[in-house]
Amino acid sequence: MATNSLALTGMPSTQPIPGDFVEVRFAQGQSAGDAGVKKVLLIGPKLSTGTITADTEIGGPYASSDEVSDVAGTGSVAHRMAKKFFQIAGAGGGAFELYILCPTESAGVAASGAITFATTPTGAGVASVIAAGVQYDYAYTASDTVTTVAAGLKAAINADVDAPFTADNSAGVLTLTAKIKGPEGNTIRLYGRTTPGTAVTASVTTSTAFSSGATATSYTNALATILGQKFDYIVPHCVDTTAIDAIKTQITTQALPATGYRQKVLNGQCVSASSAATLASGRNHERMDFANLESSEVECYVLGAAFAAVRVLQEVTDPSFNFDGYGTKGGTSLPIPAPSKKGDWFTNTELSTQLQSGVTPIGVDSRGNPYIVRSVTSRCLNGSNLDFRVRDSVRVCVADRLAADWIVRISTAGYSKLTSDPLNQGQEPDGNFATPRRGKAIAEQLVSDYCSNGWLDPGLKATMLAGISTAIDSNNASALVGTNNDTYAGLSTARGTYGGSWTGTWPTATSRAPPPPRGSSSHELPDPLPHPVPLRQPGDRQPQRAAGQAGHDEHAALRRVPRPRRPRDAPEP
């Protein structure tokens, strides 16, 4: 009987609980139909006006950002993330479901930014403030003062309830304050301008980040809430490494076979290339992707939601979708504004640095259109050495899809029992039995289907199929596990061998291969689903075995080994 030790991380060989368990192991090679709708979880604080319970209530599924606004508060982090997500991905049409979880707001300091308007206008013009990618205008005349100019802009800004900040004015000093406390507010940017030749001026004329936002939001309670649930995509608003590392620890454990929650974390950052490289390489995890756009005109969490929306939109139908240049290729767009400071657009050197360090950089083309340069995971190191075996995010997406499809197919195969493969072309057991051969056939068909869909490389199909093998776990006879080729009673259990070789003293021989099959080629391999097919059918010179007759006893096995024929003139032994 083919056996092998079941080595799934975190699962003992004596596991008594029945079920189908899969572990996806990345970077195992040389260095150098899926289960239902996708669930997306946005994690971001709510306003005090929000009705959802912080930390412990998962809201959704939602079909629009207005629904999120009703429970999280208009202009909250959670609402702004949902607004951008739905703008790009739409309502999903049944392909995905959007949920939110609102951790308790930081008890720290809200970020803020200010613009001072100086000199009374001498003529008509327009004063503008551009903040979080939105322009607010006030038309002034010579009868205005700097106080009325700033007051007019204050009114325009506060009328935009979707904005992530509120405005105040004091004698021409316009101050914008983030609605949510914490360092994420420091990624809001603003600048102002006025009509030339009208005397009035704005103190900040180039995009400048808010400042003073402090004390990170704790994710401890929120993560405890989702511990027992699976979300295919988790999109956290945070920028601090404490929360990011807590998420990493949880998703790593949850992805192990005993739980089997294979989840991806997509996070937005608005920092320099070197800072992003440090953050991503420090996490070095195949399930964590960081999109980065330095000096982004939208907040980091809005950038993260946009990145997530693009990924979800494409991956729900094609897990192998190629995101290289997404936003510049026909039919694709990344609807976020480019940084107004062209000097902050990434150079080729900076793009390369980030890609080498596990960052998905957002570039800007010559026409000012932001685009995804290449979607990569943060897995980039093996110790201190570069390791790009799981660089592209498509590798994780396809592997997770394959694992989910395997679970579906093996679960719906109708197996309720487990037995070993029949010996040397013996009759297949009835359809209630799972066997190593049948499990392998399901895996082979799945790989073939993925190659046909273009989700796996058809050029490597033969190699992938050759690498698939299954056996009964030697430590737990109720478990089916992948194994190398094995033998039992001198016979090979490798699929396709069907007979293998034998060594012994009966009949006189040292090693002899069995004769080739005599039946039609259509009956040489069993079809594992939906019903077993006998290796030979009546008329193939071998009558079918009567129902219920033993097929695995020693005498039956011996009868299938032909005696060597002696020449006509040879004496009797």
Which of 164-168, 187-191, 415-419 has the least mean pLDDT?
A: 415-419
Q: How many residues does the chain have?
A: 573
Q: Which residues contact 148 (CB under 8 A, 6 or more apart)?
A: 140
> 3-state DSSP call for residue 169?
strand
Q: Specify whether the CB–CB gap between 504 and 493 falls below 8 A.
A: no
**Nearest to 210, CA basis, from 126, 84, 297:** 297
Tell me the average pLDDT across 26-54.
Answer: 79
Q: Specify whether the CB–CB gap between 380 and 281 falls below 8 A.
A: yes
- Across-strand partners of 62? 98
Amino acid at 260: G
Residue 160 has pLDDT above 60, yes or no: yes
Tell me: the pLDDT tens digits for 434-478? 999 999 999 999 999 999 999 999 999 999 999 998 888 877 777
**Nearest to 371, CA basis, from 351, 392, 391, 356:** 351
More confident residue, 8 or 115: 115
Q: Specify whether the CB–CB gap between 84 and 92 falls below 8 A.
A: no
Residue 36 has pLDDT above 80, yes or no: no
- Across-strand partners of 364? 370
d(CA 341, CA 296): 10
Question: What pLDDT sits at residue 484?
Answer: 37
Return phi, psi of residue 42, to 5°. Answer: -95, 130
* Strands across the sheet containing 125-131: 134-140, 125-131, 189-193, 208-209
**Nearest to 40, CA basis, from 314, 250, 231, 236:** 231
Tokens of 557: 């096995």
Q: Specify whether the CB–CB gap between 106 and 181 falls below 8 A.
A: yes
Residue 57 has pLDDT above 50, yes or no: yes
CA separation, residue 122 to residues 125, 146, 153 (Å): 9, 11, 18
Write a three-state SS string for 236-259.
Answer: ECCCCHHHHHHHHHHHHHHCCCCC
Tell me: the pLDDT tens digits for 302-313? 999 999 999 999
Question: What pLDDT sits at residue 531?
Answer: 35
Task: Name the pairing type of β-strands 3-4 and 471-473.
Answer: parallel
Q: What is the residue-averaged pLDDT of the chain?
A: 84
Q: Specify whether the CB–CB gap between 43 and 101 falls below 8 A.
A: yes
Tokens of 514: 């069995």
Tell me: the pLDDT tens digits for 481-492? 654 344 434 443
Q: Which residues contact 227 (CB under 8 A, 6 or more apart)?
A: 250, 254
| Percentage above 90 pLDDT, the chain | 71
Q: What residue has token string 């914008």? A: 176
Q: Specify whether the CB–CB gap between 272 and 324 falls below 8 A.
A: no
DSSP 300-365: HHHHHHHHHHHHHHHHTT-TT---TTBTTSTT----SPPPS-GGGSPPHHHHHHHHHTTEEEEEE-
Tokens of 548: 């219920």
Question: What pLDDT sits at residue 482?
Answer: 56
CB-count burial class (<10 Å; 0-12, 13-18, 19+) for 303? buried
CB-count burial class (<10 Å; 0-12, 13-18, 19+) for 36? exposed
**Nearest to 134, CA basis, from 292, 369, 336, 271:** 336
Residue 37 has pLDDT above 70, yes or no: yes
d(CA 56, CA 52): 9
d(CA 217, CA 212): 15
Q: Specify whether the CB–CB gap between 75 and 85 falls below 8 A.
A: no
Residue 240 has pLDDT above 90, yes or no: yes
Question: What pLDDT sits at residue 476?
Answer: 76
d(CA 334, CA 322): 15
Task: Name the pairing type of β-strands 208-209 and 125-131.
Answer: unpaired
More confident residue, 79 or 9: 79
Residue 175 has pLDDT above 90, yes or no: yes
**Nearest to 275, CA basis, from 290, 259, 264, 265:** 290
Amino acid at 400: D
Give the torsion sign (CA, 459, 463, 466, 469): negative
Buried b or exposed e, range 163-182, using 16+ CB within 10 angstroms: bbbbbbbeebbbbbbbbbbb
d(CA 484, CA 5): 11
CB-count burial class (<10 Å; 0-12, 13-18, 19+) for 32? exposed
CA separation, residue 372 to residues 82, 188, 299 (Å): 20, 21, 17
Query: What element of type H or E holds 269?
Result: strand 264-269
Tell me the average pLDDT across 104-130.
Answer: 98
**Nearest to 98, CA basis, from 75, 65, 69, 70:** 65
